[in-house]
Amino acid sequence: MGYGGSVKDAGEVTQPTNDGGIDGVIKEDKLGLDVIYLQAKRFDADNKVGRPDIQSFVGALEEKRAVKGVFITTSSFASTANDYVKNINKKVILIDGEQLAGLMIDYGVGVSTVDIYEIKRLDSDYFDAET
């Protein structure tokens, strides 16, 4: 998505356990002047992420003195989670499974092209030309 320069330098994944509620860190710019913290949850479609999960993530952001975070889930967010992020000072973006799939397609992450369709339109200039 253009954050942090090269893919190698754009961010890092934290340790799998005892990560303090942070799963990854993305450099917002090439110099790393600002960072965005990530939390990711792989939940079943019927298991929504609720406000307590978001509050816990916001607490982890506070511990890092961070003001920006992205919470990603393969499922969806409860309305209480969405309402909560609207009323806090930190900038927390919630990305649900549907949005995640769209971003993966847009940026070619974890997907491959199966078919490409060519769509043609009538060239009216061709028929207007005198031969």
pLDDT tens string 22-77:
999 988 877 778 889 999 999 898 899 999 999 999 999 999 999 999 999 999 99
Report the pLDDT averaged over residues 5-29. 76
pLDDT recorded at residue 19: 65
pLDDT recorded at residue 126: 83
Answer yes or no: CATH 3.40.630.10 is held by domain 7-128: no
Closest by CA to 8, choosing from 30, 37, 40, is 30
Cα 58 to Cα 26, 94, 116: the distances in Å are 16, 12, 42
Q: Distance (Å, rounded) from C-alpha 51 to C-alpha 106?
A: 29
Q: What is the pLDDT of residues 90-126, one digit of tens each?
A: 999 999 999 999 999 998 889 999 999 999 999 888 8
Closest by CA to 3, choosing from 40, 39, 34, 45, is 34
Q: Distance (Å, rounded) from C-alpha 6 to C-alpha 100?
A: 21
pLDDT recorded at residue 1: 65
Interior angle at CA 130, CA 129 and CA 131, nearest 5: 115
Instruction: Name the pLDDT band for 7 (thresholds 50, 70, 90).
Output: low
Give yes or no for residue 2 having a pLDDT over 70.
no
Full-model pTM: 0.79
pLDDT recorded at residue 117: 93
DSSP 42-89: ---TT--B-HHHHHHHHHHHHHTT--EEEEEESS-B-HHHHHHHHTSS
Give yes or no for residue 131 having a pLDDT over 60.
no
Query: 3-class SS at 113?
Result: coil
